[in-house]
């Protein structure tokens, strides 16, 4: 008897939930469209011929949309100071080199810090942790000077070079990455590594053949967090690479364009789309990894 009435209650609840879900579904869709409004308005306006068309009717859909849009794209792709393809290439090169180096070096450091229990290893770990609370602004002025000093003393060019900025990214990426790898490696059972040692591996082989493959999930998190930061970074490239120099990343090229054509909105917006599109396309394919990486990174 009781079971029956319980079921009945449940059924009523399901009906109510179902009705509710449609309202929620519609609210969600409306909110999502509202959230995308900025992008939609930008997409409307990249198809306008010049700024006058925007001033006359900023929200209207233009005539000859595609002709104008393609024309704007062409102006950017062939522009000598914007150098879209070269900027894209440098962004890709700097981001991937930095990610590769941060990933390998930070995980190496984290591994020996977990597996050695000396007062040094504790101290060094806390030194890395202290880097988490240092805002970039606190070190940026001495850093610029230091890079110049390194060049003066050793003759190695640090500013305006790819290796210069990649080396700085390794340093700035270390705290968070070491911290995340440290937490993960702590949960990896030691027995696997012991077995490898007994089988005759040396420490290098233990790390690269046994430990490294286990790190895959946290490696993805690290790639996402650092990748988004480095790809979109503006201030550090401004200081290390400078503006209008041969080595130029995508955010720098956006800044250059906006400085050159302060009033040419169709052109600026086209460049905005061209700068944002590579990551958005990537997001479509590896959406799950990006969201999971960002979230688990924050919770740790």
Residue 66 CB, nearest approach to other proteins (Å): 21
Q: Which two tokens stand for residue 278?
A: 């590579």
Q: Of 70, 123, 138, 243, which one interacts with other proteins (CB under 8 A)?
A: 138
Enumerate residues 252-281 that contact other proteins by CB under 8 A. 254-255, 258, 265, 268-269, 272, 275-276, 279-280
151 vs 232 by CB, closer to other proteins: 232
Enumerate residues 14-43 that contact other proteins by CB under 8 A. 17, 20-21, 24-25, 27-29, 31-32, 35-36, 38-39, 41-42
108 vs 260 by CB, closer to other proteins: 108
167 vs 247 by CB, closer to other proteins: 167
Q: Print the binding letters for residues 234-253 with other proteins: x by CB under 8 A, - otherwise.
A: xx---------------x--
Residue 88 CB, nearest approach to other proteins (Å): 14
Enumerate residues 199-218 that contact other proteins by CB under 8 A. 203-204, 206-207
85 Cβ contact partners less than 8 Å away, ≥ 6 residues apart: 77
Point out which span in 69-77, 78-86, 103-111, 212-220 binds other proteins (CB under 8 A). Answer: 103-111
Enumerate residues 107-136 that contact other proteins by CB under 8 A. 108-109, 111-113, 115-117, 120-121, 124, 127-128, 131, 133-136
Residue 95 CB, nearest approach to other proteins (Å): 12
Q: Considering CB under 8 A, how many residues would be counted as binding other proteins?
A: 94
Rounded CA separation 143/131 (Å):
14
The answer to whether residue 221 forms part of the interface with other proteins (CB under 8 A) is: no
Q: Of 140, 214, 220, 260, which one interacts with other proteins (CB under 8 A)?
A: 140
7 vs 21 by CB, closer to other proteins: 21
Q: Of 71, 96, 151, 232, which one interacts with other proteins (CB under 8 A)?
A: 232
CB 266 within 8 A of CB 53: yes
Enumerate residues 61-80 that contact other proteins by CB under 8 A. none
H helical segments located in 46-133: 51-56, 65-77, 84-115, 119-130
Q: Give kind and range of the element (H or E) at residue 157.
A: none
Q: Of 142, 183, 217, 246, which one interacts with other proteins (CB under 8 A)?
A: 142
78 vs 116 by CB, closer to other proteins: 116
CA dihedral 137, 138, 142, 146 (to 10 degrees): -80
Closest CA to 181 of 217, 141, 224: 217
Point out which span in 61-69, 77-85, 212-220, 225-233 binds other proteins (CB under 8 A). Answer: 225-233
CA 250 to chain centre: 13
Rounded CA separation 79/257 (Å):
9
Eight-state DSSP code of residue 81: T
Angle made by CA atoms 256, 258, 33, in degrees to the nearest 5: 125
Tell me the CA distances in angstroms from 278 to 92, 211, 281, one per residue in order: 10, 32, 5
Rounded CA separation 203/223 (Å):
25
CB atoms within 10 A of CB 251: 18
Closest CA to 236 of 105, 91, 82: 91
CB 47 within 8 A of CB 69: yes
């Amino acid at each position: 008897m009781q079971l029956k009435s319980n079921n009945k209650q449940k059924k009523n609840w399901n009906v109510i939930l179902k009705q509710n879900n449609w309202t929620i579904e519609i609210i969600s869709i409306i909110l999502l469209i509202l959230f995308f409004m900025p992008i939609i308005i930008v997409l409307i306006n990249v198809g306008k011929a010049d700024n006058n068309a925007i001033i006359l009717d900023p929200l209207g859909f233009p005539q000859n949309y595609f002709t104008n849009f393609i024309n704007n794209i062409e102006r950017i792709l062939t522009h000598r100071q914007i150098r879209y393809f070269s900027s894209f290439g440098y962004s890709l090169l700097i981001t991937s080199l930095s990610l590769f180096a941060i990933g390998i070096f930070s995980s190496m450091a984290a591994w020996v810090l977990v597996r050695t229990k000396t007062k040094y290893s504790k101290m060094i770990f806390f030194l890395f942790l202290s880097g988490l609370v240092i805002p970039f602004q606190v070190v940026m002025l001495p850093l610029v000077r230091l890079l110049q000093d390194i060049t003066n003393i050793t003759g190695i060019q640090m500013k305006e070079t790819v290796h210069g900025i990649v080396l700085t990214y390794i340093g700035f990426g270390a705290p968070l990455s070491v911290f995340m790898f440290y937490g993960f490696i702590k949960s990896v059972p030691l027995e696997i590594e012991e077995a490898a040692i007994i089988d005759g591996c040396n420490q290098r082989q233990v790390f690269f053949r046994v430990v490294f493959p286990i790190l895959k999930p946290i490696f993805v998190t690290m790639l996402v967090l650092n990748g988004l930061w480095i790809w979109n970074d503006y201030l550090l490239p401004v200081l290390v690479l400078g503006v209008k120099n041969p080595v130029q990343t995508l955010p720098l090229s956006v800044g250059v364009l906006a400085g050159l054509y302060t009033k040419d909105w169709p052109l600026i917006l086209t460049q905005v789309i061209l700068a944002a599109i590579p990551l958005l396309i990537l997001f479509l394919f590896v959406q799950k990894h990006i969201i999971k990486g960002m979230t688990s990174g924050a919770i740790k």
